[in-house]
């Protein structure tokens, strides 16, 4: 499950990175393409350490897992992961 969640986090972090890139002046990020790939993996690993994500990974009964309850408002893993990715990208790379 840990590797599965990390892979999902990488995908959603990359999507978020690209969305933010397109919103920037001249559609540029502070890192080039090679550096951004490394940053995306690092961000996904940081997301992996989030308390809610860790709780999900360790969950014994995924059928009873409730993302909205656990995250206080995010209905699915993708919206929560993209929220975390956007927060990290904005704080660590944009601002």
Kindly list the domain boundaries of the chain, sorted by start residue. Answer: 2-94
User: Which one-letter DSSP state was computed for residue 64?
Assistant: G
CA–CA–CA angle 39, 2, 13 (5° rounding):
30
pLDDT digits (tens, 9 = 90+) for 13-72: 999 999 999 999 999 999 998 999 999 999 999 999 999 999 999 999 989 999 999 999
pLDDT at 33: 86
Model confidence, pTM: 0.93
Give DSSP secondary structure letters for 18-34: HHHHHHSGGG--SS-HH
Q: How far apart are CA 34 and CA 2, in angstroms?
A: 25
Lookup: tokens for 68? 């909205």
Helix or strand (DSSP H, E) at 54: helix 51-58
Closest CA to 13 of 50, 41, 33, 53: 41
């Amino acid at each position: 499950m840990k590797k599965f969640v990390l892979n999902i986090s990488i995908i959603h972090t990359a999507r978020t990175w690209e969305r933010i890139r397109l919103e920037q002046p001249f559609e540029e990020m502070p890192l080039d393409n090679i550096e951004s790939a490394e940053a995306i993996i690092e961000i996904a690993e940081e997301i992996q350490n989030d308390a809610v994500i860790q709780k999900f990974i360790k969950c014994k009964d995924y059928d009873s897992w409730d993302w909205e309850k656990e995250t206080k408002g995010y209905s699915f893993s993708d919206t929560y992961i993209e929220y975390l990715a956007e927060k990290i990208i904005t704080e660590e790379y944009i601002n």
